[in-house]
Structure 1
Amino acid sequence: MASSPRMKYDNPKATVDVELPDPLKEKRRVKYSTIVFSIAMVLSFVGIVKYEDANAPVVTSTLYTLRRSEKGREILGENIQFNSLMPWISGRLHSGRGVVDFSYTAVGDKSTATVHFNSRVDPELKKFVVLDWSLTTPDGVTTSLMDEAFLPFVPQNKEAPTSRQNY
């Protein structure tokens, strides 16, 4: 007795005896969930972008240089750091385009100040030139750090500028 091969769809289709819920029935809940999700996504995006800005090499370089600066320690005191765990870096950080212009708030043992750094690529030299590197205290006094021995993001005469090598 030879058996005939079973067809793939010989079984009867499954049926659902329970009525499926209508997702649009609770419009208020759907709107609320969509709004909460959208706000969470926007806040996450802003947090990621600001985290990347705070960890940019030029920003960390300015903070490191500020810690070494005599004028910076005189104004802010010791233990110079960002004013918060997630600092707000305002301005432009386009080192690839040759434009670096940003500010952030730094705090030390003595005081708080806004750090401003502005640098552009000189078209002839093809190197960054620092235009402004200063501290502004809450009472409005601005102190230039341009006459310091070391400027962030700009190599000294003995140092080679940072560049990407093609390997």
Structure 2
Amino acid sequence: MLLSRAVPRRTGLVRLPGVRQITPRRTMIPAPGPNTGPLTERRADRELPNITTSRGWLKTLPIFVVVVGAAMLGIFNYQKSSSSVVSSTLYALRTSPRAREILGDEIYFAQQIPWISGEMNQLHGRINISFWVKGTKAQGKMRFRSIRPSRTSYFRTEEWSLETEDGTVVQLLDSDIDPFRQE
């Protein structure tokens, strides 16, 4: 600490009396060309390269939009398929005697990657989904619709049906037994 106060700091060039100071000048160095070697030295005052405006990105923009759109649809569908609503309806379908009579045992999604169509908006109290299921006997399209009339009330199931491949619609929701009712 004492040494730093005793030795004066040099903040600039040493000025000698009677000698003219020459400040070094740096010349502008052109940017590397296409057939020149690698840039081995970086200098802050070099010339900037010319910007060539190419429209190549216009060709790839539609492909990018399609890929991003498909990825978004896949992500949203995966979110729907892994939700508790879909899991609960599949469980209720597996335990329903009427559904097991139509579809058979081992009820699951009909496709390896299922497509859940419809709206699943639990925040606003609207669930209206449908997806294909299959069993050991047949396959069909399950529809489930439930609403929540107010924020403080429970969801009320309005439709839970199974449409077979021949177009027959079977109502799985009995008026006296609701497998989804919470009280």
Is TM (by shorter chain) over 0.5? yes
Aligned partner of 2:156 among 118, 124, 129: 129
- Which one has more relative contact order, counting CA pairs under 8 Å at least 6 apart? 1
Farther-moved stretch of structure 1 (81-90 vs 50-59): 81-90
Equivalents in 2 of 1:119, 1:75: separation in Å? 23
The alpha-carbon deviation at position 30 of structure 1 amounts to 2.5
The reply on whether 1:22 has 2:52 as its aligned counterpart is: yes
The alpha-carbon deviation at position 92 of structure 1 amounts to 1.4
Equivalents in 2 of 1:73, 1:13: separation in Å? 83
For structure 2, which runs of at least 5 residues remain unmatched after alignment? 1-9, 15-24, 35-49
The reply on whether 1:36 has 2:63 as its aligned counterpart is: yes
Cα RMSD of the aligned pairs, angstroms, is 2.8
Equivalents in 1 of 2:179, 2:78: separation in Å? 24
TM-score, normalized by length of structure 1? 0.75
Secondary structure class of the residue paired with 2:162: strand
Equivalents in 1 of 2:127, 2:159: separation in Å? 10
Within 5 A, what are the aligned runs for 1:103-118? Answer: 103-118=130-145
Cross-structure match for 2:44: none
- How many residues are paired up? 148
Secondary structure class of the residue paired with 1:101: strand
Pair member with larger Rg = 2
Equivalents in 2 of 1:18, 1:70: separation in Å? 78
TM-score, normalized by length of structure 2? 0.69
Summarize deviations over 1:60-113 as a string: whole Å, max 9, x none: 110111111111111111111112232111111112211111111111111111
Change (3 A) 1:52 1:125: closer
Cross-structure match for 1:164: none
CA contact 1:103–1:117 (8 Å) conserved in 2? yes
Secondary structure class of the residue paired with 1:127: coil
For structure 1, which runs of at least 5 residues remain unmatched after alignment? 158-167
CA contact 1:65–1:150 (8 Å) conserved in 2? no
Query: Percent identity of the aligned residues?
Result: 27
